[in-house]
Amino acid sequence: MKLPVLNLNPETLFKTILYALLGLSSFSFLLNPLTNDFRIYQGVARISSYYPDAITGLDLAWEIKPVANRGLNYILYQVANAVAVFGTPEYELCVKLLSLGIVLAICWYFGRQLKNEMLFPLSAFLLLSTSNFIVGQAEWWAVLFSLLAIALFLADHKYLWCLGGVVVTLIFAFKGITILLIIPIIVALFLYRKDWLVRLVYGGVASVVALLILIVTFPHMLSDMILSAYIARVGLYSTENLLFSGVLNGVASLYLIPGILGGTLAGIITLPRVLKQPRFKMLAIIGMWITCFAIICIQSEFFVTHYIVLLLPIIITLPLLTRDVLYPMVFISAIFFLLLSANWGVMMVVENDFWQVQTRYHSDMLTALPDLTSQDEILYLNSGNAPYYLGVNSSCRYSTPLPFQRNSPTWNITHLPEYQDQFACTMAYEGEYIIMDSSPWLGNDTPDNQAVWNKINTDYEKVWSMGWDVYGRINGTSTVLPRR
């Protein structure tokens, strides 16, 4: 008896493989817990909810990423918190499910507007297959919303072009530097629509109006963006250090963001073809790539998370690739994704096992002590994750006091109003507890830092030293914490 033979043409087989990869990457995406940074964003979203209204909370509950990143995390928080108890594994799964839904919806709409049925599974796979610690970062969301802006500009209705301009403004409000992603968006319009300039004018007008509304609604938005550049210490590091970090993390990004390696090889293979394109088309494609590299270089920190912007020109040019280039690209990306997720989703074993698990254990012990969690507010002098675990409001605007911590003898930012505000708030604090990292996160190398440590050592004593250092006021009213 003859066995039935599957008569699949290459196109159908390729599509089947793409959807299988999308399923695996989605499963891996959901299996991962929230990263430390994602939990910091969610902790700030929770603090935002303590303010009288959402607008005030998003403006005043500070986090280094600007208002769009805060707003998106606030929405995720509100929806997930309505379904599950904050901070539980069920809550984190809800946040991941919501994020996955946003990715799939935008990638589906992007593929639909370009009338390319391969684009939905392929673009979603490239975004979801990245290493877990990149997921949820401002650049990751900015790339995703860039695809949404492109899809809206490619639509046939003028009001959608205007909406695309509004999305561009949100992309700017994710991290400031991400406004440069407007160049790849324009290039996509130029490549796929003859009336690209008309569409861009409509979107540009709407974008300016949206920006003015944001500035009026969130008075701290622009100053927070400027502060972020100071905190990132842009311009501090030497050229040699920058080159070393850029090359090292660039190589790491080829593994931790599987789509970059496959996309880069595809770009190299098709470069001779690109150079034969009409001049404006060739310059547009090359300029798009240069812009994305510029975003990485201008930030001058060269974190692997910054390299995620390189996925945008890769995804934009996917419809231009011939099958002989597209198939190997997907194959290479798939191999690296499977290597990366060999532990079935636990892509950051060190972080999950040795950091987050211990942090959760210590926080469970602390939150079981009602005297701490019943406080109206606490001074946080730690790297940012404590509000997520403890849930107590911050006594200062900066629950992650980076304006204070990043000041040093070699990077003096004491002239910034935000720094002065944080220092004054810290010195005026008279609450019962101060939360600090057990490792020496806050240095002692400036006069202001020494003044803070003098305040702590004079008015407070260490009452807990597992996970975080907790300082209780000497002769204070709260005495429940065991002296450890």
Give 168-233 as a DSSP string.
HHHHHHHHSGGGGGHHHHHHHHHHH-TTHHHHHHHHHHHHHHHHHHHHHH-TTHHHHHHHHHHHTT
Residue 3 belongs to a domain = no
Last residue of a domain, one of 340, 364, 394: 340
Cα 316 to Cα 110: distance, rounded to the nearest angstrom: 10
Pick from 67, 59, 96: which is nearest to 80 by CA? 96
pLDDT computed for residue 1 by the predictor = 47
For 51-99, what is each residue's pLDDT tens digit?
999 999 999 998 889 999 999 999 999 999 999 999 888 999 999 999 9
In the chain, % of residues over pLDDT 90: 49
Are residues 354 and 432 both part of a single domain? yes
305 & 357 share domain: no
Which residue, of 319, 340, 361, is where some domain finishes?
340
Query: At 479, is the pLDDT very low, low, confident or very high (cuts 50, 70, 90)?
Result: low
CA distances from 467 to 258, 365, 379, 464 (A): 34, 10, 16, 9
Output the CA–CA distances (angstroms, integers) from residue 273 to 233, 280, 281, 292, 363, in the order listed.
40, 14, 11, 21, 56
2 in any annotated domain: no
Supply angle C-alpha 432, 438, 439, rounded to 5. Answer: 140
- Residue-range definition of the domain harbouring residue 134: 10-340
The domain tally of the chain equals: 2
With respect to residue 1, please indicate whether it lies within any of the assigned structural domains: no
d(CA 219, CA 268): 45
Residues 329 and 424 in one domain: no
Asked if residue 405 and residue 268 are part of one domain, the reply reads no
- Mean pLDDT, the chain, integer: 85
Interhelix angle 258-275/239-256, nearest 10 degrees: 100
pLDDT at 202: 97
Residues 359 and 408 in one domain: yes
Using the CB atoms, write b or e for 47-58: b if 16+ within 10 Å: bbbeeeeeeebb
Same domain, 61 and 133: yes
pLDDT recorded at residue 349: 42
- Same domain for 198 and 285, yes or no, is yes
Q: How far is CA 225 from CA 75, 208, 211, in A?
A: 21, 17, 14
Distance CA 130, CA 472 (A): 42
Radius of gyration of the chain (CA): 24
How many whole angstroms separate alpha carbon 336 and alpha carbon 384? 32
Does the residue 71 lie in any domain?
Answer: yes
pLDDT one-digit tens code per residue, 343-386: 444 444 444 544 555 566 566 677 666 678 888 999 999 888 88
Q: Is the pLDDT of residue 478 over 60?
A: no
What residues contact residue 328 under an 8 Å CB cut-off, 6+ apart? Answer: 262, 265, 266
> Same domain for 323 and 456?
no
For the stretch 403-431, pLDDT in tens is 888 888 888 899 999 999 999 999 999 99
- Please tell me the least confidently modeled range out of 105-109, 203-207, 226-230, 234-238: 234-238
Position 310 scores a pLDDT of: 93
The reply to whether 479 falls in a domain is no
- What average pLDDT does this structure show over 201-213? 97
pLDDT above 80 (res 245):
no
pLDDT value of position 246: 76
Token pair belonging to 417: 């109003």
Long-range CB pairs of 157-161 (<8 Å, 24+ gap) are: 158/202, 161/199, 161/202, 161/203, 161/206
Quick one: 178 and 265 in the same domain? yes
